[in-house]
Structure 1
Amino acid sequence: MLYPNPLNFIISVQRVRNFDADPGAVEFILNDFPSDPVAIEKEVLSVIPYRHDWEVYGMPWYCPTVDEVLERGTGDCKSRALVLASVLEAKDIPYQINLSPTHVWVNYEGKQDTSIENDQVEFYQYDPETGERRFKIPHIGLNRVMNAFWQSFWDPMPDSRKALLISGLLALIVARVILRKKRTAQQAVG
């Protein structure tokens, strides 16, 4: 229902875990970027407009390759972070990949914290230069996580997929009730 090809989910989890920047994929646009990381990030955000995975890839959550992002020219925070990391790596600027329960971003020297990009909300950090991975408990409210989930998962979901999801869940509930009644009836007889 949500993933016509469930392998895409597995691939996405692996890609987020490794978060492979691809400096070679951005070589053709490197001359368009300044050398200051703050200016590079602003340029990436303007070149790659934000769109949810449902809108770009037709699935709720997908981590593309850098080539896929550049081909489509749009994407969510994962897509933008991949392009930014690739440009920074191509320009030999150190960076780290950070994840919160609601967001993925690239950290670098001189980056200013925001309400969604800061140490408090981070639960995972990966430094590609050292290979170090760090996990910690984020300080982020459940309400904020649920709102972000709703806005990025449910709102952009096509109506046909919403109908499939709801009908599938209802079918599972009905099947469970029927099986439970059948089992209870068999136990009463036996």
Structure 2
Amino acid sequence: MLYPNPLNLVMSIHRFINPDVNPGAVELILDDFPSDPVAIESAVRTRISYRLDWELYKMPWYFPTVEEVLKRGEGDCKARAMVLASVLEAKGIPHQLNSSPVHVWVDYEDKQETPYENPQVKFYHYDPETGERRFQIPDIGLGRVMDSWRKQLWTPMPTDRRVLLISGSLALIAARVVWRKKKVVQ
């Protein structure tokens, strides 16, 4: 329903847990970027226009490679984070990849915190320099998570996919009820 090819979800989860920061992929455009991490992040945001996964990949959540992002020139926070991390790594600037239930971002020295980019909302942290991986329970309001998921996942979902999701879920529930009734009768 949501993933016509379920391997895309498996691959995205793998890339999320093992992000493929790729300084080689940005080598040809490296001279286009300044050396200050704040300015680099701003340049990445300018270069990679924001688009949702539903719009680009026809699925709710997809974790692209750096090469895919550069080829398209657009993507969501995951896409921008991978390009930013790759540029920072190519320039030898220490950084860490972080994610919350609603956002993926890159931390670097002196980065300004925002409501969506701070230590309290982190769910997963990866430091490519040390290889450290850390999960934690994020301190982020359920309302913020639900609102973000609605905006990112539900609202842009094509109508036919919504119909399939809802009817498929109802069919599974109905099948379960019928199966239980048959089991009780026997």
Shorter chain as normaliser: what TM range?
over 0.9
Residue 61 of structure 2 is matched in structure 1 by: 61
Distance in structure 2 (CA, Å) of the matches to 1:131 and 1:89? 14
Residue 128 of structure 1 is matched in structure 2 by: 128
Residue 159 of structure 1 is matched in structure 2 by: 159
Residue aligned with 1:156, SS: coil
Larger Rg: 1
Distance in structure 1 (CA, Å) of the matches to 2:111 and 2:143? 27
Residue 139 of structure 2 is matched in structure 1 by: 139
- Give, as a single letter, the amino acid of the residue that structure 1 aligns with 2:32: D
CA deviations over 1:107-148 (Å, ceiling 9, x no partner): 001210011000111122111001111222211111111111
Residue 39 of structure 1 is matched in structure 2 by: 39
> What TM-score, normalized by structure 2, do the two folds share?
0.97
Runs of at least 5 residues in structure 1 that lack an aligned partner in the other structure: none
- Give, as a single letter, the amino acid of the residue that structure 1 aligns with 2:80: R
Distance in structure 1 (CA, Å) of the matches to 2:185 and 2:136? 49
2:183 equivalent to 1:183 = yes
Residue 168 of structure 1 is matched in structure 2 by: 168
Distance in structure 1 (CA, Å) of the matches to 2:8 and 2:89? 26
- Give, as a single letter, the amino acid of the residue that structure 1 aligns with 2:98: N
Residue aligned with 2:50, SS: coil
C-alpha displacement of 1:177: 1.9
Distance in structure 2 (CA, Å) of the matches to 1:125 and 1:164? 34
Runs of at least 5 residues in structure 2 that lack an aligned partner in the other structure: none
Identical aligned residues as a percent: 67
CA deviations over 1:42-82 (Å, ceiling 9, x no partner): 01011111111111111111101001111111111110000
Paired residues in the alignment total 186
> What TM-score, normalized by structure 1, do the two folds share?
0.95
Alignment of 1:87-98 (within 5 A): 87-98=87-98
Residue 109 of structure 2 is matched in structure 1 by: 109
Distance in structure 2 (CA, Å) of the matches to 1:123 and 1:6? 24
Alignment of 1:65-76 (within 5 A): 65-76=65-76
- Give, as a single letter, the amino acid of the residue that structure 1 aligns with 2:142: L
Residue 15 of structure 1 is matched in structure 2 by: 15
Runs of 4 or more, structure 1, over 3 Å off, are none
- Give, as a single letter, the amino acid of the residue that structure 2 aligns with 1:126: Y
Distance in structure 2 (CA, Å) of the matches to 1:157 and 1:141? 24
